[in-house]
Amino acid sequence: MEVVDHAFIFEEKNNNLNITELSPDIYLKAGDYGRAQLTSAPLVEEYGGQVKCVPFVSGRSSSSIIEKIIHNYLPQLASSEPDILPDAAPAAFLDRDGTLCKHVQYLSDPEQFELLPGVIPGLLRLKEAGFRLVIITNQPGIGFGYFTKEDFYRVNLEMLRQLSDAGILIDKIYFSPYTKAEQRPCRKPGTLLGERAIAELNIVRESSIMFGDSEADIQFAKNLGCTSCLISEEYSGEQLPDIQAKTLEDGVNLFLQK
């Protein structure tokens, strides 16, 4: 990347402070943004700079290269080291927002995190039944710039603290930071993160289940080849879940009874 003079990480939810300090002649943003969405655009244009939104080219990104490497080679690497893999076990794949915790639009503040009723007894019963607990969540707010990965981690830390106090340990958390427009295979209903979990944690696919609150979660389960459970009282999607329940606890009980 010879054309890049400098790269840096910033903590702002927007880039306004850096723009004010640096006054770039041209300010580029990815194609999932429009000029109307950019609070920084008036700042740039005020001093005579230009704002450009660069369209995506399908399959051309560093992220897609990384995902391709993971998809093609991770199962092979994991299977070549069987001595470090845990014993085979089924998994409960879990959506986070709206399934484990109260849905807050673009949740980024740990103080707003609130476990839903039935989550703790449901997870305890799954653990007792020998299921690994694996969270797989879409977080497009990161891709849109509404919050940072660090905000996401802070919310997760509060979640893990509350669950740990109840005697529940999460085996692993996987997340996709991309928007729907970016069409990444790691974003549900794509199964890339599920396949990673199966390889890394030695999960028995056919005995596993996905708990979620959206049609994308149901389709993820169907694509992955496991049972689907919708945690919702109302649902009007085209994809029908194998199980539907009001709370996670109810869904776990129905699943284990089967």
Active site members: 95, 97
- Quote the CA–CA distance of 63 and 214 in Å, as a whole number: 25
Terminal Cα distance for the chain, rounded? 55
Spatial CB neighbours of 233, under 8 Å, sequence gap ≥ 6: 246
- Quote the CA–CA distance of 44 and 151 in Å, as a whole number: 27
Closest CA to 92 of 110, 119, 116, 60: 119
99 within 8 A of 116, measured Cβ to Cβ: yes
> In sequence order, what DSSP letters do the residues of 125-137 get, joined into one string?
HHHHTT-EEEEEE
Sign of CA dihedral 196, 116, 124, 164: positive
